[in-house]
Amino acid sequence: MSELLEILEMPFFRRALVAAALIGFTNGFVSGFVLLRKSSLTLSALCHTMLPGIVIVVLITGALTQAGAFMGALVAALLVGLGSITITRHTRLPQSTALAIFFTTAFALGVVLLQYVHTSQDLEEWLFGSILSVSDDDLKVFFAIACFTLLSATLFMRPLLLTLFEPNVAAVQGVAIRWMNYLLYALMIFALMASFQAVGPILSIGLLVVPGAIVSLFTNHTQWLFWGGGLVGGISAVLAVVISVPFNIPTGPAIVLVLGALFILAYFCSPNYSPFKQSRNTQH
Amino acid sequence: MEHITSFKFTSPPSMVRASVFLFIADPKASTKPSNTIAANIITTMSKCTHSHTHGQTHELVIKDLEVAYRDNTVLENINLHAHCGSSLALVGPNGAGKSTLLKAIAGLIKQRNGQISWSGKNNVQTRGGEFAYLPQHEEVDWNFPITVRGVVEMGRYSQLGPWKKFTEVDDKAVERALALMEVDGELSNRQISELSGGQKQRVFIARAVAQEAHVLLLDEPFTGLDRDHTANLTRLLRKLAKENRLVIASHHDVNTLADIFDHVLLLNRRVVAYGECQSTLSADNLNRTFENTANV
């Protein structure tokens, strides 16, 4: 306990806690949109694609920089995303199938290429996050992303929800659905960018999916998916960072583990969907 | 007005009132008898007050419309003049292009050729405040976490846009629409996945009604409705047309056409016949519309 209190006073740990709160809240807020858009699988596929992107950049440049890794990840995700869309348009395969083919192939390529990389320790940090090493400048970026997310989502909440519910009806009512879709993409990409450092690209999908899913077990109120998701995401991320110190476990996986455990707990406690409640109802 | 300020995590679904507008209506309002509210609607809904003499401007004009999905031509050489204050049924076999024509009028699909205009302006430019669209049942995500009232409130977007406050006027329009389609009271607080097929249909029609649009484009509005609700919707469509709105709906039951609609467009990729129900629904025209259906 005294060890934990000592660490709490260290600037790097305080920065990590603030970063966890900001990143957790932003991702949790956006997770409501991911849930309503049913984009979880697509985003998961794209996150796995980032591995070969980062590895290839390291192989070409010989060094692992934040900008290089981000560009590599982005290009790889774009290639796989657009590739799957092209295949879907020219064949009868559904996009989920095309995406699964592309992302597993890309991930396998990444795993094969990984053995040729010599900076494997740094790379591991990149792939699974290193929230304890965030700088003040990083915090400013996380804060800016959180502000953008809250501001744009609040300003355009009505047209966003109309688009997510039934895009055709929304378009006829005068909603600029194309721009709303762009905004949704932007929100998801910014949230992923923020979680890159916290949990790494591969686990980031957990932070971007689980909070909204947890809240959805308790409410039919659309608005609460976002604010509740933000709250769950922020608190879970902070809690995970605190827990990771005494147990000496990496913070990135700790965040996703806490969220996963919370989801299972939420499922059993849910007033609407709990298996206990359902079995009680059946007995009566 | 009641403003949402708190949230109960333990509330059962029926207690949760989903609203995309942050503001919700006075819960007592939904207990009013529906027939009183239905009686009010006629005087409050009309936007268009001009008389429909020759040369009036509220007219839907379709010129040489052609729509194709890849190489497959779905509609060709469609020409149509319809004015508000009337109702038009689109009738034809499966694959005749009824839904496609409705979507084209709503500006939802690309045209290969032709023009569609409303009040002399391009349909995509004017549709925002003017058009309401009812999609087919299977096109809607019924697991979306929203209540019946929340869906009908969405209809007010045309009036409110992204930022205007949801006022008592909007609340009344929503209440009227809920009552008209008999999805008010306890039903209005239900999650939409907890509804029967017919109830779901009525919720979406209520949303279109709450929109107070000038042109209603309804894709199979009678699907899933029982006898009483079919009669109710028939009366509603008649009222809407009387209020100087233009109602265009795809419909399957040839026997009830003349009771519901003023005009009919018999469609089989092309216009087979178009005119008043009585004169257009001849055996010859119907045979020509539904012939070679097996090949369509």
d(CA B120, CA B127): 12
In angstroms, the separation between the Cα of residue A198 and the nearest Cα of chain B is 29
Kindly indicate the confidence band of residue B119, based on its pLDDT and cuts at 50, 70 and 90: confident
Q: How confident is the model at residue B19 (pLDDT cuts 50, 70, 90)?
A: low
Mean pLDDT score across all residues of chain A:
85
Name the DSSP class of B195: S
> CB of A220 within 8 Å of any CB in chain B?
yes
State residue A78's pLDDT score: 86
Intra-chain end-to-end CA distance of chain A, in Å: 48
Q: Is B265 helix (H, G, I), strand (E, B) or coil?
A: strand
Kindly tell me if the per-residue pLDDT of B36 is higher than 70.
no
Q: What is the pLDDT of residues A66-93, one digit of tens each?
A: 778 778 888 888 888 888 888 888 888 8
Angle between helices A66-90 and A177-216 (to 10 degrees): 100
Domains of chain A: 2-270 (1.10.3470.10)
Q: Find the largest Cα–Cα distance for chain B.
A: 64
B12, A271 contact by CB (below 8 A): yes
The amino acid that residue A138 corresponds to is D
Positive/negative CA dihedral, A270, A271, A273, A278 = positive
- CATH says B83-94+125-290 is which class? alpha beta
A156 near B CB under 8 A: yes
Strand, helix or coil at A71?
A: helix
Q: Which residues of B touch A162 (CB under 8 A)?
A: 20, 154, 157
Q: What percent of chain B has pLDDT over 90?
A: 23
- Residues B183-232: tens digit of each pLDDT: 888 888 888 888 888 888 889 889 988 988 889 999 999 988 888 888 88
Rounded (5°) CA angle B224-B229-B234: 105
Number of H helices, E strands in chain B: 11, 12
**Residue among B147, B157, B250, B260 at smallest CA distance from B210:** B157
How many other β-carbons are positioned within 10 Å of the β-carbon of residue B150? 30
**Rounded distance, CA B273 to CA B281, Å?**
9
Nearest alpha carbon to residue A160 among A178, A139, A135, A145: A178
Q: Is A90 on the interface with B (CB under 8 A)?
A: no
**Least-confidence region, from A63-67, A214-218, A262-266:** A63-67
The pTM of the full predicted model, rounded to 2 decimals, is 0.81
Phi and psi (nearest 5°) for B250?
A: -80, 145
Ranges of each domain in chain B: 83-94+125-290
Beta bridge partners of B118: B60, B121
> If pLDDT is split at 50, 70 and 90, which confidence band does B16 have?
very low
Backbone angles phi, psi at B232, to 5 degrees: -65, -45
Q: Which pLDDT score, from 0 to 100, does residue B54 have?
A: 54
Question: Is ipTM strictly over 0.95?
Answer: no
Greatest mean pLDDT among A122-126, A230-234, B110-114, B271-275 lies in A230-234
pLDDT at A25 over 90: yes
Q: Is B19 close to A223, i.e. CB distance below 8 A?
A: yes
Question: ∠ CA(B238), CA(B241), CA(B247), 5° rounding?
Answer: 100
Which residues in A lie closer than 8 A to residue B127 (C-beta atoms)? 171-172, 174
